[in-house]
Amino acid sequence: MKHCIPLFILCALSWVPTYASSGVVTGPPARSAASASRNSELPAELRTAWLGSPLKRFRHLVPERRALPSHISYYTQSGESLTIGGYRVTGISYGFYKDQLCCIELRVLGQANCQGLYSLMARAYGPSRALTSSSQQWVNPQVSLLYTEMPKGYATVVLSSTTLVAQYRADFLVPINTAV
C-alpha cells in the first residue's frame, strides 16, 4: 500500500480535465486504458477513495502537527513512497474537513523535481491559469489543483475539493464589510 498513494494522487488528478482552463465543463473525462490499469493496481481502499471520502475509510494515517491551528485536520501516511512520475516528493499530507477528505498537499524540493512535476501536470492537464508569478492553477467545478513554487526550488501542489473548500470558507471566513 505504501507505493500506491502517489498512484492514487495521479488518478485523483485525472479528474482535472485539460479543458478546465477554458471554462467548458462537460463532465469527467473518459478514462483511458492506462488509467484503468493504474486503478487495478491500487488496493480497494484507494480505488474508491476520492475527495469527499470519509476519514474512517483510510487506514494507517498519522496526525500531523501544524504550526497554525486549523479546522482542517492534516494527516500523513508513514512509510509511503514519495515519488510521482519519477520525481521526488518530500511530503504528502491529507486534509480532512468535517471528517471528509478535502485536500491533498504535496511538497517538492529541488529545481529538477519541481520543474519535472510541473511539466507532468502541464502535459496531463493543458495550460494553467497564472495566479501570480509563482502560482499556477487548474480548476473545474469539482477539483482545484494549485502549483506554487516559492522560493525557487521549493514547490507545493494542493489538490482540493471546490465544494468542501467553499463550505469551509462559508463556515469560518467572515465577509469583509458586514457592518450595517
Only one residue has cell 469551509, namely 168
Q: Is the pLDDT of residue 60 over 70?
A: yes
Q: Helix, strand, or coil here: 89? A: coil
pLDDT band at residue 126, thresholds of 50, 70 and 90? confident
Q: Which three cell numbers stand for residue 159?
A: 489538490
Q: 63 — alpha (psi -120 to 50), left (phi > 0) or beta?
A: beta
pTM strictly above 0.95: no
Only one residue has cell 484503468, namely 36
**Length of the chain, in residues:** 180
Q: Is the pLDDT of residue 177 over 70?
A: no
What mean pLDDT do residues 91-106 have? 93
Question: Could you tell me which residues come within 8 angstroms of residue 90 by beta carbon, excluding any fewer than 6 positions away?
Answer: 82, 107, 108, 109
